[in-house]
Structure 1
């Protein structure tokens, strides 16, 4: 059952719209006069083809595949006004949910079939993400930085079930993002300007042109948001450009992706502090700054109507800087022998570089720890595949085979500083003293070399005109080498290899019903981040400090799924009802989790045995002449299949030894068992459309409560409104209201060391439950100009 919802808070929102001039681009042909089409709730069901591999060019009728697939189009992404990939994933697809551990609206963890794709280290990454055939999971931790993806430049997103062809991390599935170019986008331009509540201002635009065999596309955006919580802010700039050439048989594209972001996410706060002040952060700063540059080259060539090759090559540079203010592990010593010094939790004098002790330089005042890290990664790679559609003994056949190579060089550094803590806002201040405590917390500088090689094949053959058999396999090889630059014990070499098979059947019962079932295997190798923090004696902070290099086993997932899908045509005007009903079960062996350490704010990665994620998904979509609607329901039961014991950390349900025991059958934290989403769009007049979408979600166990000993995070209901008016053929005004009923709700919960930090707003707080609150009601508006 869904948990009781929170009461409304005070309504606060604003509405904002301004005009934007349209620059001319001499290279492009004159744009054809068009009227911006109204946005409908779901138009993805008209898409009948889907890729069988990450590279574009391997498309096949999705009804021939034995797996659930979905497609989000440009209109799907723009349902709220400006393109928003994350909102579309959260509301329009079954099996997907989001949580916001960092408190930043641009840094969510995307949960897909019970597996995660997150920008945060410490999260077990179980979803593969590709952008025009290039792997987007970052090499150091397989993280996915959603803020670096230019939403406006997305042509379509294919959401794939577990498929070994998509390589490492595709345990819960894959997102395959295809970008716009001058050939798949109308000639001309679009400029949007929008803003509203929480100090949000967003400007973005795109332009495409074509001359003969050559075409170009460029898109840019600037986003600033003050945020509604203390010390919350977002600044994002991005530029995407593509230059292409094609003739009847060959198409080549070169593209450039530039992105820069500075995100201040206040993270979770103790619930007693949030009751006193819903905007309050716990400790600060909590900053993530990203820089990203990627050059890509992709192309295809058709040797004949049935045989073609596709390929891509890329180079990227990724820099990430993280600042994380935490409760201090080092405080004034209690014993007289060490009076005037700082000590760690076991009354051992704290040490700095060179082994010297750290004085109580605040004379008993409030201390804080600043964990800071920098990651610099140079990545490169290439892949090549052939697609062959032909008949074998009279049977229709679709075959794809290819190879891929990815390499990366990473330099990671991290340092902890002990400093002061402002009394009311709880912000770290320095200059601080470097902490150097061997076996606990030491400065780190390590270089990492990654090599990933894959070879794959997939084949679909129509045994009869209605029955299709699909078989596929991929060999994955991963080599990860770490070299400690400070002379510590981080150095180590690791290699992993595995062949993952898949097979299934799809049968077209009628023109409106298709039944399918399949089995697949996928794996993920431990990341450099996990290998460097993999034991009780080698724990690391939540900001990812690494002090050891033991081996971890790779994770192997085995997925069974079956379903029924189809589409009814209701009349000759193309009114239709589409449906997709599916069941799934994924068993993961040697799953890797982040386990609490005895040291405050420290944890480590470990193989804990088996986990299982199983459930059901329902998708319905109705398309009529003047309105459309969709409904998604997902039930997920995610459980541990093995028992293990971990330190309780701040979990109040600890036993006498300070531990908790996770038993077989306990639920995995952070995964709601039930989620219902839906939406409706109406064409009120020929120029005015309006619609609603909602999210009804059940409660989930808190992260840190793997043993299920505490009450769940409350469930919630969120209602959103959007509208658009086509004022002139080239001018549209749009607006939206998020969280229309102004519910106070939370998508993420954990435990924090509440008693370790003085809370001026809630001085008697002792409850360690800590939530990441979602934004109250907010109003947004803008204009769109096409030319």
Structure 2
């Protein structure tokens, strides 16, 4: 079952040619992209190729993962199709600040978790240029954030994607998309360029989005060494109007609770990928990258601001039964503006992160005993500098619940609300070794070890309250035994430890007395402990033929226990929250994935069971929870389920390719999830769902085809995420009698798209 890969690379091509009547063997050409530890454990994971990613006509990484891997769920917490939370085995990779990131992400061997909050920007990925995606289980060699596993993204070059391809499509809700790619090679030189542009009006009110991204690659490859330069760029303007109260959705599903909620990103990344063969059995290889990310956000939110009880000519900020005068930058109380309407705030944020990193490793393969020993020894270094600033402007809610700024900037003397100016510096060192050791002709051991050292420093640009430095260090081991019972069956069992240090955002927002918003993390600086995950896993894999079908399957069972887990917890001040270590949590489950092909048929089936629970008792703040105590807290008992994680997942897909045409369909089923803020499991969960999608393509002339897709074929109304919203002081014209505090992230209704693709 082990992939026929070199220890540290993807073998993209081996070229032979002929000259006139004589067949002359050309030197082999090998392209190497260094991945941490050589991705020795790829045989334990799930892989998608470019054909899986663009099966519906246009590339769509997230949809491909959801229809292929039942253990992956997508949550519409933000309300934007390109900014979902990706949940795998109960761990999250998300573009949103405030999510506890538990998956490591790598792009062409370089770290892709953004340094500011370890977020994963799915909108920054040039999906048209993706060659392969691997979803792997926990291993220490992938470094920080790999608590639940790792996602490895590999892009094309001129040898893996020769020729020219272009596609144009349009669809419901103003959806428009175009993509183009071209590549080729001559001798040792290869080149590749790709780009895509997407935009849509959005199916919900006031929700337009657009994104543009691209990739260029130029490479020099020989049998003894090579070098690739990759350039990536992205420019996005996304709207995500988030969750809405259940009664508002029932009255008018496309309504939003408040707006605007926009984020603009500009991203550039350059990476170098050299390698040199030191001998026939040993090579040294590296990945070096440098990147720049500019992010601007504006969030219109409802706020607990009202005329003061003692003096209605002045405004007060309420927190439970307490209230404090609202003050401006000069420390003066803010007067109550003329007119009616509820008050809100415009949270504005701006961040620029410059980061760079290097991964260097030596790979050696040589006979040992009854097999081949495969050893990787390497080091990594990642550093970043983020300049972050926010402001909070007093606003008023209009009849359509947009927040219009009134001018005054809010600066509370107690730090509950105010501007921020901070520079964060991160330095992450890693030393690692990975060895595939043959014990017998059929039994081998995968041994991994990594030392992580993280240093996070904060420099306050307004005062001194945020100044601080935190250091985290740990050695994480891993061991897996692989038994090749016969050519068609392999068994495995293993143990791994992984860790993640608190991010600058989490470290600076860990005080319940000084909470912060998602646009304004930096208000205090208590210490948080690093999270340590310990994973046991067993599994089996196989392949074979049955009645003409070529089939493969992968079965896994796992248990991961986190110590000192970190959670984002609601504050008594509306729209504010803080981070806290919550003790031990456990995620355990089983997964089965199978694929089969015969003739023009391709079918796949995947089932996942995920049980995620708290292991320690604790008291959390959740003031909007209807079951909260008078002080706004809930009591979590050992065994209560973690929110936002589906216990059951099922994905089925079938495609048939005829001569010049194809048809396909898939079904995605996920069970219900607990609401965020209902860690005590008192409120009914978000219901589960079953969604069907269909696709087709028809070749009209050689190299040119039409394609179409219908998503959510039966127009199922469902939600993928839930939390709470305070609606008692907000007038909802669509649902004037609304009282239910539950708020859901609604999934999109039925959508269609059609397009044309040309390939030469």
The normalised TM-score by structure 1 is 0.91
Q: Call closer, same or farther: CA 1:385–1:359 in 2, change over 3 Å.
A: same
The answer to whether the aligner puts 1:674 opposite 2:648 as a matched pair is yes
- How far did 1:161 drift? 0.6
Are residues 626 and 61 of structure 1, via their aligned partners in 2, closer, same or farther at CA, if it must alter by over 3 Å? Answer: farther
Aligned ranges 1:129-144 → 2 under 5 Å:
129-144=105-120
Residue 339 of structure 1: how far off its partner (Å): 2.5
Query: Quick check: 1:385–1:403 contact (8 Å CA) kept in 2?
Result: yes
What does residue 690 of structure 1 align with? 663
State the alpha-carbon separation in 1 of the partners of residues 8 and 211 from structure 2: 33
1:591 aligns with 2:591: no
Structure 1: distance between partners of 2:338 and 2:115: 41
Structure-2 change in CA distance of 1:624 and 1:448 (3 Å): same
1:76-87 aligned at under 5 Å gives the runs 76-87=52-63
* Residue aligning to 1:27: none
Determine the structure 2 residue equivalent to 1:126: 102
SS in 2 for 1:291: strand
Matched residue SS, 2:324: coil
Per the alignment, residue 222 of structure 2 pairs with 247
Structure 1 residue 473 displacement after superposition: 0.4
Q: 1:58 to 1:363 in 2, by over 3 A?
A: closer
Does residue 537 of structure 1 match 2:513? yes
Separation in 2, partners of 1:59, 1:313: 12
Cα pair distance change 1:276/1:51, threshold 3 Å: farther
Which of residues 141, 163, 168 is equivalent to 1:193? Answer: 168
Q: What does residue 639 of structure 1 align with?
A: 613
200, 209, 214: which is aligned to 2:189? Answer: 214
Which residue is equivalent to 1:184? Answer: 160
Aligned-pair CA distance for 1:48: 5.2
Contact 1:481 1:492 in 2 (8 A): yes
Equivalent residue number for residue 698 of structure 2: 725
State the Cα deviation string for residues 544-591 of structure 1 (Å, max 9, x = none): 3321111100000000110111001236x7x31211111010000000
Number of paired residues? 735
Equivalent-residue separation in structure 2 for 1:107 and 1:438 (angstroms): 35
Contact kept? 1:328, 1:367, Cα under 8 Å: yes
Contact 2:315–2:326 (CA under 8 A) maintained in structure 1: yes
- 1:467 to partner: Cα distance: 0.7
Tell me if 1:353 matches 2:326: no
The CA distance in 2 between the partners of 1:180 and 1:628, in whole Å, is 24
* Matching residue of 1:438: 413
Which of structure 1's runs of 4+ aligned residues deviate more than 4 A? 45-55, 57-62, 64-67
* More contact order relative to length (CA 8 Å, sep ≥ 6): 1
Q: Show the counterpart of 1:711.
A: 684
User: Retained in 1: the 8 A contact 2:34–2:108?
Assistant: no
- Rounded Cα–Cα distance in structure 1 between residues aligned with 2:759 and 2:291: 32
1:563 maps to 2:576: no
Q: Is the 8 A contact 2:80 2:239 kept in 1?
A: yes
Per the alignment, residue 301 of structure 1 pairs with 276
Between the aligned partners of 2:79 and 2:134, the Cα distance in structure 1 is 27
Equivalent residue for 1:165, pick from 133, 141, 145: 141
| C-alpha distance in structure 2 between counterparts of 1:669 and 1:389, whole Å | 45
Paired residue for 1:56? 33
Which of 719, 741, 751 in structure 2 is aligned with 1:746? 719
1:465-516 CA-partner distances (Å, limit 9, x unpaired): 2111111100011000001101041110000000000001011112211110
Consecutive unaligned residues in structure 2, runs of 5 or more: 11-31
Paired position in structure 1 for 2:424: 448
Alpha-carbon displacement from aligned partner over 1:351-381 (angstroms, at most 9, x marks no partner): 1101011111134432111111111100011
Q: Given the alignment, which residue of 742, 758, 762 partners 2:731?
A: 758
Deviation sequence 1:190-248 (CA, Å, 0-9, x none): 01001111101101100102222211100011111111100111100112101111222
Match of 2:49 among 73, 77, 89: 73
- Structure 2 SS opposite 1:253: strand
CA-to-aligned-CA distance 1:680-705 (integer Å, 9 cap, x gap): 0113x311110101111110100111
Quote the offset at 1:58 in angstroms: 6.5
Aligned to 1:10: none
CA distance in 2, matches of 1:196, 1:292: 27
Of 459, 480, 491, the match for 2:456:
480
On the 8 A contact 1:67/1:517 being kept in 2, the answer is no
1:385 counterpart (357, 361, 367): 361
Q: Secondary structure at the match of 1:75?
A: helix
Distance 1:61 1:644 in 2: 41
Distance verdict in 2 for CA 1:47–1:89, change over 3 Å: farther
Q: What is the 5 A alignment of 1:487-566?
A: 487-566=463-542
2 CA distance for matches of 1:324 and 1:733? 40
Q: In the aligned structure 2, how far is the partner of 1:66 from the partner of 1:196? A: 37
- Do the aligned partners of residues 362 and 236 (structure 1) sit closer, same or farther apart at CA in structure 2, a change above 3 Å counting? same
Given that 1:66 and 1:516 are in contact with CA atoms closer than 8 Å, whether structure 2 keeps it comes out as no
Give 2:16's aligned residue: none
Tell me which residue corresponds to 2:757: 784
The CA deviation string for residues 32-58 of structure 1, in whole angstroms up to 9 with x for no partner, is xxxxxxxxxxxxx99654977998356
After TM superposition, give the deviation of residue 397 of structure 1 in Å: 0.4
- Name the stretch that deviates more: 89-98 or 136-145: 89-98
Counterparts of 1:191 and 1:533, CA distance in 2: 46
TM-score by length of 2: 0.94
Q: 2:598 maps to what in 1?
A: 624
Please tell me whether residue 699 in structure 1 is matched to residue 675 in structure 2: no
CA RMSD of aligned residues (A): 1.8
Alignment CA distance shift 1:189-1:691 (3 Å): same
User: Following TM superposition, by how much is the alpha carbon of 1:764 offset from its aligned partner in structure 2, in angstroms?
Assistant: 1.3
Q: Is the 8 A contact 1:670 1:703 kept in 2?
A: yes
**Is 1:107–1:119's contact at 8 Å kept on the other side of the alignment?**
yes
Task: Check if 1:343 corresponds to 2:319.
Answer: no
Distance 1:500 1:53, change over 3 A: farther
Say whether residues 1:272 and 2:239 are aligned partners. no
Question: Which one is further off, 209-218 or 171-180?
Answer: 209-218
